[in-house]
Amino acid sequence: NAGVTQTPKFQVLKTGQSMTLQCAQDMNHEYMSWYRQDPGMGLRLIHYSVGAGITDQGEVPNGYNVSRSTTEDFPLRLLSAAPSQTSVYFCASSKGGAPVIAEQFFGPGTRLTVL
Amino acid sequence: GQQVMQIPQYQHVQEGEDFTTYCNSSTTLSNIQWYKQRPGGHPVFLIQLVKSGEVKKQKRLTFQFGEAKKNSSLHITATQTTDVGTYFCAGHRGSTLGRLYFGRGTQLTVWP
């Protein structure tokens, strides 16, 4: 199993450009999430999904869109990149479950710089 | 707002000293998880606590979940240079399906 994969590893954008960060998992996990990590701010949740066709906003959703058309893929779209979106982005997945949530598996991250 | 508070933000210790990081939630959690992130890496799951008052050990690491299921701690005995990294707690509230609330992490530096 490859686990959680993310592409690209690094990306430089100009202000106003759009792009999609890819995330895929091959563990048949129901839950997937996108986080951004900035120095001193920990991991902040952008969007998450509890299954195909279901998404919800996290703590910092503005400027980002997601969709979940398949169990495996959870792409994150930056609509019009801004310097404030310079960050490291992590995708994570976990098995479904309630009320106890299972451990999350993280991808290696995408380091994004917006000029 | 911040749902799970974690302190301290930074901790510098000499090798062999002990280390503790604390997490506190404003609401009752159904479970809490701990992750470690090495410099330049991604968070890696360490352990999960579910029961009130639960204590779990992994070699030199001891994890506790409070009786009210609102706080947790990670204690490392006799730190080693391999313990360097950022430790995160992450709480789950049963009412918010699929979502973890991460603390801001404690960055541990160990001097040899």
Tens of pLDDT, residues B11-35: 999 999 999 999 999 999 999 999 9
Mutate to test the interface with A, among B23, B37, B100 (most CBs of A within 10 A): B100
Of the candidates A64, A84, A76, the one whose C-alpha atom is nearest the C-alpha of residue A21 is A76
Q: Mean pLDDT, to the nearest integer, of B64-68?
A: 97
What is the predicted pLDDT for the residue at A55?
96
- What are A31-54's pLDDT values in tens digits? 999 999 998 888 999 999 999 999
- Band (pLDDT 50/70/90 cuts) for residue B3 is confident
Show residues of chain A in contact with B100, CB under 8 Å.
33, 45, 101, 104
Residue A33 to residue B97, Cβ atoms within 8 A: no
Does the pLDDT at position B2 exceed 80?
Answer: no
- Rounded to a whole number of angstroms, the distance from the CA of B103 to the nearest CA of chain A is 7
The average pLDDT across A53-76 equals 96
Percent of chain A with pLDDT over 70: 100
CB B5 within 8 A of CB B23: yes
Closest approach of A67 to chain B, Cα-based (Å): 16
The single-letter code of the amino acid at B110 is V
Nearest to B9 by CA among B104, B85, B89, B76: B104
**Strand partners for B22:** B7, B73
A101–B contact, CB cutoff 8 A:
yes
Q: Which A residues, 9 through 48, put their C-beta within 8 Å of a C-beta on chain B?
A: 30-31, 33, 35, 40-45, 48
Enter the tokens of residue B110: 């160990």
Alpha-carbon distance of A54 to A72, in angstroms, equals: 13
Longest Cα–Cα distance in chain A: 42
> Quick one: pLDDT at residue B1?
54
State how far residue B105 is from chain A, nearest Cα, in angstroms.
Answer: 6
pLDDT for A102 beyond 60: yes
Asked if B100 lies within 8 A of A104 by C-beta distance, the reply is yes
Q: What percent of chain A has pLDDT over 90?
A: 89
**Shortest Cα distance, chain B CAs vs residue A80, angstroms:** 25
Of A94-103, B22-31, B60-69, where does mean pLDDT reach its minimum?
A94-103
Residue that has been written with the tokens 């890696």 in this structure: B44
The two structure tokens encoding residue B76: 């490392």
Q: How many angstroms separate the CA atoms of A23 and A59, rounded?
A: 19
Percent of chain B with pLDDT over 70: 98
Buried b (16+ CB within 10 A) or exposed e, A99-114: eebbbbbbbbbbbbeb
C-alpha to C-alpha distance for A32 and B55, rounded to whole angstroms = 28
Q: How far apart are CA A43 and CA B105, in angstroms?
A: 8
The torsion angles phi and psi of B83, rounded to 5 degrees, stand at -85, -5
Mean pLDDT of chain A: 95
